[in-house]
Structure 1
Amino acid sequence: MAETVASAPGRVTVYSITGCPHCVQAKASLGRLGVPVWDVDMGRHPELRVKVKELTGRSTVPQIFFNSVHVGGNDQLQKLTPEELARLVRLVKEEPVPADAPPIPENHSDVSEEPVEADEAAELSTILREMILKLFSEHLSADGKCVDYKAMSLSPVFERYCDLAVQLQRVELLSLSREEKLAFFINTYNALVIHGHLRLGAPTNMWQRYRFFNYVSYLIGGEVFTLQDIENGVLRGNRKGVAQLLRPFSKTDPRLQVALPDAEPLIHFALNCGAKGCPPIKTYTPQDIDSQLRTAAEAFLENDDACVVDSGKGEVRLSQIFKWYKADFGGTDEKLLNWVLEHMSESPKKSSLQSVVTGGKVRLSYLPYDWSTNSSH
């Protein structure tokens, strides 16, 4: 159970369970009201279930009370008018907790805000990713190529997304395993790109892109992480990015402890920068993350925007991604081509590449990158 720091004679009581997305959303919204919020975990305190059901007539969570006034679940909370919400907040700020207020556990010494544990962190990043993907798909053009970011930013679902993103500051990053870290940071990066587009608009030139990736950030586990920090600092094992003179994290930077021990080349096919030339977006989970990333690489390489083979001319043309991050794929043309070959699914294109590579002299060049935004405005 946890109470947010706020001084008022009354309280908001939330009955929840760990990992419930509706509970997380409700608590994020309540946390912005400036009133004490007592979170009672029904998983830890099953003895209260009967009483809560008597009070609410429901077995579901969350169940939310302002003093002794029962609001209902997350949907009911989100549907309150500003006037209704203001009245309830005023009640908690002005009236002490009444005798008939809903029960809290007798032992409530654990009143500090608890960190989000590893399994919850992965779940939180997945929920954020799925919310933004749902928003994304609802505002996608009929041909699936453009997004109406302006309409997205006006959606009430986006407001709830912003509430949830605040929870990232409570994530206990050092407890994440390699698989949890990959899923968490890939999902968070992809969501943050869209969030950045909604807040700042899409970057349209090189200078704007540089600023965007070095400026757009989330507070995660008490530290600020920009898009550059996530990609090059965490997921590439603290390697210099494109046009970067220094590594993202210095030796004394606390974020260095979060970085993967080495670059993970497969992340380049999972991160989406919002341009048309980026890999397709999806949500990643810690379970079998490596096979998910491998599938993303296969899908990317099937596309002629990523790899074109002309066996007659002995020519291979690859996405600029392979040029920018060549070090992650072995550092030489030969190692790069072998990496690509190993990560392609069985297809005529793979057979052509195989014959070109085994034939000796390969002419390797890079395809133009489509930096045009996928915004419809």
Structure 2
Amino acid sequence: MWTSAGIPRLRAKLKELTSRSTVPQIFFNSVYVGGNEELQKLAPEELQRLVSLVRTEPLPADALPLPEENPSEPADLETDNAAELSLLLREMILKLFSEHLSADGKSVDYKGMSVNPAFERYCDLAIQLQRVELLSLSREEKLAFFINIYNALVIHGYLRLGAPTNWWHRYRFFNYVSYLIGGEVFTLQDIENGVLRGNRKGVAQLRKPFSKTDPRLQVALPDVEPLIHFALNCGAKGCPPIKTYTPQDIDSQLRTAAEAFLENDDACVVDSGKGEVRLSQIFKWYRADFGDTDEKLLKWVLDHMSDSPKKTSLQGVLSGGKTKVSFLPYDWSSNSSH
């Protein structure tokens, strides 16, 4: 059995074979099953047949290459290069993450992860963030660096403090959990709304994260980047999946993340009969990033969908006249198994 967990060089081939941007997509040799949901629905005898197929028949010549099961850890863990350090951190935290996933892939044993020796190595590496030089980073490097750091910091915060359980706990978590980066403190709130959204007020925020005299303002991107919303994972089940991002071709990577998110019916539902589109709460909370009218919002969604029956349905609804926009419930439950 082979699954893709978002390895950049295989994404294009995987999408060509499956017409899907979401991961995992599961193959038993040349037999394509679908995603995790389809795998769980397989009858026991069919699953056994497919497992036997893998055991008894050679891998087809045109099969996707197998990813390394245990990629070696970086030999040199000391660096002041921001992009390189963020990738090292992400590789280490994702290794921990994958080792402590539940059988169905939907929850994480954070307690078990916290006592894994690899977590202490991650903490040692995170200390080096205070040494990195941020002002010289390009737009692409900032995007990759801060997205990777945000996702790693959420996991780190969960391990040290536990998952927030209500609105107030979430507010405190995202305004308290922080790293010292380049000599300045950056909370999760600062990273998302200060840096990646071009210093815009966040949800339930009364002011912008950075004042005009705040040295961190120099690091902020000049404009809001709407696609970051499909790359940031806050640790809730309603969030987009965790992936690793690189400065090279970052815009294409983010667009793929948006396509995958919109493929999911937890994020976008098109009801042709009612002329209604139901979207993730993300589009409500950050409405200003996508368009200040329903028309602009739906145009943004349409432009960022992959070619699919859902996109065709949305085109049909939009061509039929006024479309109702509503927002789906958000699953704030933690992806923790405890």
Q: TM-score range by the shorter chain?
A: 0.7 to 0.9
The match for 1:243 among 204, 224, 228 is 204
1:190 aligns with 2:243: no
* Matched residue count: 266
From the CA coordinates, give the structure whose radius of gyration is larger.
1
Task: Tell me which residue corresponds to 2:92.
Answer: 131
Task: Please give the per-residue CA displacement for 1:30-75, whole angstroms capped at 9, x wherever unaligned.
Answer: xxxxxxxxxxxxxxxxxxxxxxxxxxxxxxxxxxxxxxxxxxxxxx
**Alignment equivalent of 2:261, drawn from 274, 279, 300:** 300
After superposition, where does 1:45-194 map in structure 2 within 5 Å?
116=80, 120-194=81-155
Q: Name the counterpart of 2:224.
A: 263
Given candidates 217, 229, 237, the residue that maps to 1:276 is: 237
Identify which of 233, 256, 274 aligns with 1:313. Answer: 274
1:157-212 Cα shifts (integer Å, max 9, x gaps): 00000000000000100010000000000000000000000000000100000000
Matched, 1:342 2:310: no
- TM-score of the two chains, using structure 2 as the length reference: 0.78
**Structure 1 residue ranges, 4+ long, deviating more than 6 angstroms after superposition:** none
Q: CA deviation at 1:330?
A: 1.6
Aligned equivalent of 2:74, options 21, 25, 38: 21
Q: What amino acid sits opposite 1:369 in the alignment?
A: Y
Whole-angstrom CA distance in 1 between matches of 2:185 and 2:137: 17
**1:60-117 residue CA offsets vs partner (Å, 9 max, x unmatched):** xxxxxxxxxxxxxxxxxxxxxxxxxxxxxxxxxxxxxxxxxxxxxxxxxxxxxxx82x
Aligned residue identity for 1:185: F
Letter in 2 for 1:301: L
Q: State the SS of the aligned residue for 2:174.
A: helix
Whether 1:290 and 2:251 are equivalent positions in the alignment is: yes
RMSD of equivalent CA atoms: 1.0
Indicate the SS of the match to 2:282: helix
Q: Of residues 195, 199, 211 in structure 1, which corresponds to 2:160?
A: 199
Matched, 1:359 2:320: yes
1:365 counterpart SS class: strand
CA shift, 1:227, in A, is: 0.1
Aligned partners of 2:75, 2:138: CA distance in 1, in Å? 26
Partner of 2:334: 373
SS in 1 for 2:325: strand
Whole-Å separation in 1 of the counterparts to 2:252 and 2:76: 31
What amino acid sits opposite 1:316 in the alignment?
V
Amino acid at match of 1:345: S
- 1:290-311 deviations in Å (ceiling 9; x for gaps): 0000000000000000000000
The 2-side partners of 1:126 and 1:354 are apart by 38
AA in 2 matched with 1:135: L
Q: Secondary structure at the match of 1:173?
A: coil
Amino acid at match of 2:280: S
Instruction: Output one character per residue of 1:336-373: Cα deviation in whole Å (capped at 9) or x when no partner.
Output: 10000000000000000011112111111000000000
Whole-angstrom distance in 2 between the partners of 1:260 and 1:121: 16
Aligned equivalents of 1:222, 1:320: Cα separation in 2:
35
After TM superposition, the score normalised by the length of structure 1 is 0.70
Once residues 205 and 293 of structure 2 are traced to their aligned partners in structure 1, the CA distance between those partners, rounded to angstroms, is 21
Identity %: 86
Cα distance between partner residues in 2 of 1:152 and 1:331: 42
Structure with the bigger RCO (C-alpha within 8 Å, sep 6+) is 2
1:210-235 superposed Cα distances (whole Å, 9 cap, x missing partner)? 00000000000000000000000000
Q: What's 2:170 paired with?
A: 209
Deviation digits for residues 299-342 of structure 1 (CA, Å, limit 9, x no counterpart)? 00000000000001101000000000010002211111000000
Tell me the SS of whatever aligns to 1:22.
coil
In the TM superposition, residue 22 of structure 1 has moved relative to its aligned partner by 2.3
3-state SS in 1 of match to 2:75: helix
Unaligned runs of 5+ in 1: 1-19, 28-114
Mark the runs of 5 or more structure 2 residues left unpaired by the alignment. 1-72
C-alpha distance in 1, partners of 2:153/2:293?
32
